[in-house]
Amino acid sequence: MTLTPDRLATMANAIRALSMDAVQAANSGHPGMPMGMADVATVLFAKFLKYDPAAPKWADRDRFVLSAGHGSMLIYSLLHLTGYESPTMDDIRNFRQLGSVCAGHPENFLIPGVECTGGPLGQGLAMAVGMAMAERQLNATFGGDLVDHNTWVIAGDGCLMEGINHEAIGLAGTLKLGKLKVLWDDNKITIDGDTSLSTSEDIPARYRASGWDVFDCDGHDFADIERTLAAAAASDKPTLVACRTVIGKGAPNKQGGHDVHGAPLGAAEIEAAREYLGWTSAPFEVPAEIMADWRSLGAAGAKTRAEWEARLAAAPDAAEFNRRMAGELPEVEPIRKALAEWVEGDATVATRKASENWLNVLAPAIPEMIGGSADLTGSNNTKAKCQAPFTAEDYSGRYVYYGIREFGMAAAMNGMALHGGVIPYGGTFLIFSDYCRNAIRMSALQETRAIYVLTHDSIGLGEDGPTHQPVEHVMSMRLIPNLNVFRPADVIETAECWNLALEAAGTPSVLALTRQNLPQLRKSGDMLSARGAYVLRHAEADRKVILIATGSEVELACKVRDTLEGQGIGADVVSMPCMELYEAQDEAYKHEILPHDPSILRVSIEAGTTMGWERYTAASRNGGLNIGLDRFGASAPAKDLFARFGFTAESIVPKILDKLSA
Amino acid sequence: MTLTPDRLATMANAIRALSMDAVQAANSGHPGMPMGMADVATVLFAKFLKYDPAAPKWADRDRFVLSAGHGSMLIYSLLHLTGYESPTMDDIRNFRQLGSVCAGHPENFLIPGVECTGGPLGQGLAMAVGMAMAERQLNATFGGDLVDHNTWVIAGDGCLMEGINHEAIGLAGTLKLGKLKVLWDDNKITIDGDTSLSTSEDIPARYRASGWDVFDCDGHDFADIERTLAAAAASDKPTLVACRTVIGKGAPNKQGGHDVHGAPLGAAEIEAAREYLGWTSAPFEVPAEIMADWRSLGAAGAKTRAEWEARLAAAPDAAEFNRRMAGELPEVEPIRKALAEWVEGDATVATRKASENWLNVLAPAIPEMIGGSADLTGSNNTKAKCQAPFTAEDYSGRYVYYGIREFGMAAAMNGMALHGGVIPYGGTFLIFSDYCRNAIRMSALQETRAIYVLTHDSIGLGEDGPTHQPVEHVMSMRLIPNLNVFRPADVIETAECWNLALEAAGTPSVLALTRQNLPQLRKSGDMLSARGAYVLRHAEADRKVILIATGSEVELACKVRDTLEGQGIGADVVSMPCMELYEAQDEAYKHEILPHDPSILRVSIEAGTTMGWERYTAASRNGGLNIGLDRFGASAPAKDLFARFGFTAESIVPKILDKLSA
């Protein structure tokens, strides 16, 4: 099909009309970006993007990422016009209303054609890096007949100004991700005004400095756009295309100004725009011939997909490919067997080391696991023996040296998980979860199986001091919805928590692990961590106390219990490696572990903030007791810090006796 | 004094010896950086840095920032050798031990000569940008006789690879901060191995693309170092000096490798290093003639300082300068008066708008307030009418267009506050506190008066949807020690909370503000927010319920109360704008507000996570009740969302009645 610039222009105007009308109807939203990038997006979808609206989850489709997610009407328009089942015109009509899949920012969990959730600036592009990494890894594994697609991104000035952009493009440049193509909406406008108000950067020079190809085009000249995207597509480097555009193009009195960025145009300007564009249709109506042009584009992908389906059907490793893309774990009998053997053992190791040891069981059995660390491989213990580095020279590797790029790593992990076919995990110090916190949140929101290996999880890391000692981090991540925060107490719980993280296909996980050694506390039981909390030691004397602890403090709780029992005071020790899973249990189980008996004193012990623990302790005898750390740590050897801050049986037992006698 | 390269070399070896011996004694730490950068640092302190060890807080000293804070023995060595009172040799001997001021990473609150806390990579350099901004602002205000100093930074590869580096250098380049000089320890080593493992960036090209000057030198050739630092000092652009160094220089068998980065050299290698360096002194001993060279350097600054003191004494605005540098607020009587007038009023406004209105009272009265926003000026309402932009053309401005750089902004605010003489505040959406979370934590750890204006503080922002709707953020920031999190309920509390934030000289503050309008609830009372929580509405009927709410949900709590009272059920409404201040009250006041009476049902209402609220509710009748949002939000108009998620009196009252009758 040959689409002349005139026909492309009317097609692009359909995007403009839908965008301005939807924002107007919602009385909220961002018309500037969809109107400004309509021409570029039309050329991309007409001539370059590989997609089939009938199969939004086709494994070898090109990924299209709207990193400038506030311009959501652009992608809603494109998906509807090209013939995706969702969104419907009714959805678009209800843009930004309760129940519409056309949310303010595009949400991957609402519309299958939306590859990732956009909005938090910079992350879409950084997730696209992860998608392009997954593509190369699967290409190296399954070959170009099954996996050979581009990742296209539309990004705005905000995406490029955010710090994560530096991390993302540095990673992409080093890994020579030539199938990553970023179209930059170069409109020289930010919310506060002209970009010159806050930046003087030579963006192309910066991208070139990171090993990227850079092209530029007039974003409203169809021939120039096509020529430039062709050059970008042909490049073997990651590529930035600076698309010089006019924000809000088509709104004759407002285009080019920053007022058009994030507010409805208003009825008068919309009328003027209709005239300017020659668009005579009513709101939410697209003339039949324009719709036909769009739909014929959309239909064109079916042939390519059919050819691919045929190749897949003939491929000897089709079953394995399909398994990985479906996100189904392989047979894990060897893993179960290994865990049973571990339970018989008696290993005193740091949980970070236990994690490494378990990775050496998991990684050979689960080939889709792709590990990595933000330059702390030897500290996070994230590399399994069987994993070779993932590099520009060998994309079949399964271990990524992410560099000192926590946020870029986390976003890339999200992109990999969203791409599918791989299960990413990555490590840094727990404290530096702060650096990638919003990407962890985005894992949760997007329901990705990203696994964060966060070591050095308390003052137990010792000498590096308060900048490196998490205090509030474990609890603060428990506040994020749809995130499982695991803090295992020993080698056995570490292995169990890893298994639970891998099995949670729609929920990301954090594994908070110690630097310091811990004894093996569990010598029996099968996957007890799956209940979130369980009784590790039962009271022998008459039960007066329940000690609830996590991670390294479970050992301490056991010592406290032994002292109490020695004085005739019965005490359970409840190990609670995952609050979220405990909360998901039925009431009967929850009451079995923490009975509604106000005569029993409940005591929490965790080397972090106490706030939040009152959920489990405050309604118990004398208001319960929370042993924790509500201040910053200090620099000293771990044992000195635990003593200084009261994490010893000698310090805790008298507090319990006081409470019992109050 | 003429120091020949030979003498400089022995002086630098004193740094090496102290560093390797201290790390060895602690059996923990980072010898590689101090040994590698010893030569460069020696030249800096010998020939370029303006400082006087006798007056570490001298206002016009050069600021020296060790951004690569893990190399803390470098700064401890330099401070001790040049004659600062702290640290002593005993402190150094006790490096990384409990009670020593020589913590694992340098902490500004432990040693006066440490300008900022180092460790979290990238932030030192970004704080230095803020220091250089404060310097220019004060220079423009008070003139070059009083304020004219450089900010020197030593940064490592990690500082340059982190995303925040992009934000920091972009801001510095745009603002043309010519007095900022960054010495990059270009040793081509990261923890995981050679830098080539994870980066292929042309760093000088990137810095040039952001408007920086770039020089390079052999970091072990004293003449070359001096020549290059002189060129850097003379540049009128922000300047990067690539210092090509050998990590761990002086350890003959380990230098140049990544094992020397973060572990003791070991006794054998230390012996070999002593021989290699010709260093015959015992650990923690410095030969007298070398110490004399260092001390004479340190003493040289006294003359410059005396000249400056004389200029200050003669300056007409000396008192004002001293007031600002001391961090003392000016006379605030006009502010008190304005607040009293506001209490008489009846303003229905969003708290973000109330904040803007109050800024128009504060900013004219407190000239050291420097505002800004990360490209959301019109949304955060952070600009006071009296504030002109702070730009490269006019440094006297008091409003910073930070660009889309949340992390860079927050770190710059810390740098400004640490520099002194200014009180920084800055805005973004509350959700994007995630992007700068560790800098907020660093505000708290460093005890800086940084004020974060975080608007759009709940699902009340409406249509932008879950990526923009904070759920866990208010509570998660309450977990950070030494941070006051304010969530005011109306125009009066907003003004009060602003005042409290300004008065807290050693504690940063977050102001969580609404997008949506709220009625004025308070018509009386003076600075009630200072108690953290207070009874806004007293029960009329027999008190059965205490409703505790914050921010926009206080209005809702009042409606719930009215409904309950209408049914003869007495209910207090406690407004709790700041949990931290409430916790700081004496027990008598706390019991007055929340009496120990289990027959009263306590109900928390906050449009965010419920976890944490059990502290105040769980021990009350029938386990208390927590009204909140423990899931992600959605895209829709605010009123639809509040209804959908149960934030209406119609939804809450039946739950209370259920609890009362249980």
DSSP label at residue B552: T
A415's CB contacts (< 8 A; 6+ apart) are A116, A126, A127, A128, A129, A130, A131, A132, A133, A134
Helix, strand, coil content of chain B in percent (nearest 5): 45, 15, 40
The chain-wide mean pLDDT, for chain B, equals 97
pLDDT in tens, B123-181: 999 999 999 999 999 999 999 999 999 999 999 999 999 999 999 999 999 999 999 99
Q: Are residues A399 and A388 in contact, defined by beta-carbon separation less than 8 angstroms?
A: yes
Half-sphere exposure of residue B337, counting CA atoms within 13 Å on the CB side? 5
Q: Which long-range contacts (CB under 8 A, 24 or more apart) does B315-322 make?
A: B315/B142, B315/B145, B315/B146, B317/B142, B321/B59, B321/B138, B321/B142, B321/B146, B321/B421
Active-site residue, selected from the candidate residues A115, A135, A406, A493: A406
User: What whole-number distance in Å separates Cα of residue B629 and Cα of residue B642?
Assistant: 10
Question: What is the model's pLDDT at position A334?
Answer: 87
What's the complex ipTM? 0.98
Q: Are residues B446 and B109 in contact, defined by beta-carbon separation less than 8 angstroms?
A: yes
| Contact between B105 and A465 using a beta-carbon 8 Å cutoff | yes
Question: What is the model's pLDDT at position B259?
Answer: 87
CA distances for A450 relative to A198, A369, B240, angstroms? 34, 10, 37
| Contact between B438 and A435 using a beta-carbon 8 Å cutoff | yes
A200 residue type, one letter: S
| Contact between B640 and A467 using a beta-carbon 8 Å cutoff | no
Q: What tokens were used for B510? A: 């977050």
pLDDT in tens, A214-228: 999 999 999 999 999
Which residues from A are below 8 Å from B388, CB to CB?
A: none
Q: What tokens were used for B205? A: 């090209």
Q: Are residues A514 and A430 in contact, defined by beta-carbon separation less than 8 angstroms?
A: no
pLDDT at A498 over 70: yes
CA distances for A381 relative to A367, A486, B295, angstroms? 18, 17, 45
Residue showing tokens 């030897």: A378
Question: What is the model's pLDDT at position A331?
Answer: 84
Q: What tokens were used for A87? A: 């969104």
Q: What is the pLDDT averaged over residues A166-183?
A: 98
| Contact between B209 and A203 using a beta-carbon 8 Å cutoff | yes
Max Cα separation, chain B? Answer: 89
Q: Are residues A98 and B634 in contact, defined by beta-carbon separation less than 8 angstroms?
A: yes
**Nearest CB to A472: which of B163, B479, B641?**
B479
Judged by DSSP in three states, B604 sits in strand
pLDDT in tens, B517-550: 999 999 999 999 999 999 999 999 999 999 999 9
**Nearest CB to B161: which of A161, A199, A405?**
A405
What percentage of chain B exceeds 90 in pLDDT?
Answer: 97
Cross-strand partners of B545: B571, B601
Which residues from B are below 8 Å from A157, CB to CB?
A: 404
User: What whole-number distance in Å separates Cα of residue A107 and Cα of residue A95?
Assistant: 13
Give B409 to chain A, closest Cα distance, Å: 11
User: What whole-number distance in Å separates Cα of residue B451 and Cα of residue B510?
Assistant: 6
User: What whole-number distance in Å separates Cα of residue A616 and Cα of residue A550?
Assistant: 13
pLDDT in tens, A229-274: 999 999 999 999 999 999 999 999 999 998 899 999 999 999 999 9
Q: Are residues A542 and A512 in contact, defined by beta-carbon separation less than 8 angstroms?
A: no
Judged by DSSP in three states, A626 sits in strand
pLDDT in tens, A130-166: 999 999 999 999 999 999 999 999 999 999 999 999 9
Q: Are residues B250 and B277 in contact, defined by beta-carbon separation less than 8 angstroms?
A: yes
Residue showing tokens 């295309």: A241
User: What whole-number distance in Å separates Cα of residue B120 and Cα of residue A374?
Assistant: 13
CA distances for B356 relative to A54, B431, B489, B495, angstroms? 51, 20, 15, 10
- Note the helical H segments in A448-552: 473-478, 491-503
| Residue A236 CB neighbour total at 10 angstroms | 10
Residue showing tokens 């506190």: B433
What percentage of chain A exceeds 70 in pLDDT?
Answer: 100
Binned at pLDDT 50, 70 and 90, residue A191 comes out as: confident
Give A295 to chain B, closest Cα distance, Å: 29
A643 residue type, one letter: A
User: What whole-number distance in Å separates Cα of residue A569 and Cα of residue B384?
Assistant: 63
Residue B149, chain A, CB below 8 Å: the answer is no
Q: Are residues A538 and A497 in contact, defined by beta-carbon separation less than 8 angstroms?
A: no
User: What whole-number distance in Å separates Cα of residue B118 and Cα of residue B116?
Assistant: 6
- What's the start-to-end Cα distance of chain B, in Å? 85
Question: What is the model's pLDDT at position A56?
Answer: 98
pLDDT at B498 over 60: yes
User: What whole-number distance in Å separates Cα of residue B598 and Cα of residue A22?
Assistant: 53
A54's CB contacts (< 8 A; 6+ apart) are A83, A302, A305
Tell which residue, A161, A247, A407, has the closest CA to residue B174. Answer: A161
Q: What is the pLDDT averaged over residues A408-421?
A: 98
The chain-wide mean pLDDT, for chain A, equals 97
Cross-strand partners of A517: A350
B5 residue type, one letter: P
Residue A364, chain B, CB below 8 Å: the answer is no
DSSP label at residue A388: P
Q: Are residues B606 and B645 in contact, defined by beta-carbon separation less than 8 angstroms?
A: no
β-strands B423-429, A399-401 pairing:
unpaired
Q: Chains A and B: how many Cβ contacts under 8 Å?
A: 340
User: What whole-number distance in Å separates Cα of residue A386 and Cα of residue A365?
Assistant: 10
Q: What tokens were used for A450? A: 């990203």
pLDDT at B1 over 70: no
pLDDT in tens, A555-572: 999 999 999 999 999 999
pLDDT at A1 over 70: no
* H/E run at residue A535: strand A534-537
A8's CB contacts (< 8 A; 6+ apart) are A39, A42, A43, A46, A222
Give A216 to chain B, closest Cα distance, Å: 17
pLDDT in tens, B71-110: 999 999 999 999 999 999 999 999 999 999 999 999 999 9
Residue B517, chain A, CB below 8 Å: the answer is no
| Contact between B481 and A631 using a beta-carbon 8 Å cutoff | yes
Give A303 to chain B, closest Cα distance, Å: 36
Q: Residues A486, A491, A495, A496: is their CA dihedral positive or negative? A: negative
User: What whole-number distance in Å separates Cα of residue B389 and Cα of residue B379?
Assistant: 17
pLDDT at A2 over 80: no
Cross-strand partners of B604: B548, B626
A406 is catalytic: yes
pTM score = 0.98
| CB contact residues (below 8 A), chain A span 372-431, against chain B | 373, 375-379, 389, 401-408, 431
Task: Give how far the C-alpha of residue A66 lies from the chain's centroid of Cα atoms, to the nearest Å.
Answer: 16
| Contact between B432 and A203 using a beta-carbon 8 Å cutoff | no
| Contact between B376 and A118 using a beta-carbon 8 Å cutoff | no
β-strands A509-513, A484-486 pairing:
parallel
User: What whole-number distance in Å separates Cα of residue A89 and Cα of residue A107?
Assistant: 17
Cross-strand partners of B242: B184, B216
Q: Which residue on chain B is closest to A23 by alpha carbon?
A: B463
Q: What is the pLDDT averaged over residues B597-623?
A: 96
Q: What is the pLDDT averaged over residues B11-18?
A: 98
Known catalytic residues of B are 406
Which residues from A are below 8 Å from B197, CB to CB?
A: 389, 401, 403
At B492, give phi and psi (nearest 5°). Answer: -70, -50
Which residues from B are below 8 Å from A373, CB to CB?
A: 192
What percentage of chain B exceeds 70 in pLDDT?
Answer: 100
SS3 of A4-44: CHHHHHHHHHHHHHHHHHHHHHHCCCCCHHHHHHHHHHHHH
pLDDT in tens, B292-351: 999 999 999 999 999 999 999 999 999 999 999 999 999 878 899 999 999 999 999 999
| Contact between B29 and A200 using a beta-carbon 8 Å cutoff | no
pLDDT at B191 over 90: no
| Contact between B211 and A191 using a beta-carbon 8 Å cutoff | no
- What's the start-to-end Cα distance of chain A, in Å? 85
* DSSP one-letter string for A398-430: -EEE--S-HHHHHHHHHHHHHH-S-EEEEEEEG
Q: What tokens were used for B589? A: 């006041």
Q: Residues A437, A439, A442, A448: is their CA dihedral positive or negative? A: negative
pLDDT in tens, A331-376: 878 899 999 999 999 999 999 999 999 999 999 999 999 999 999 9
Binned at pLDDT 50, 70 and 90, residue A13 comes out as: very high
B558's CB contacts (< 8 A; 6+ apart) are B521, B536, B537, B573
A119 residue type, one letter: G
Lowest mean pLDDT among A189-198, A440-449, B29-38, B391-400: A189-198
Range B581-612 burial, b when 16+ CB lie within 10 A, else e:
bbeebeeeebeebbeeeeebbbbbbbbbbbbb
Question: What is the model's pLDDT at position B334?
Answer: 87
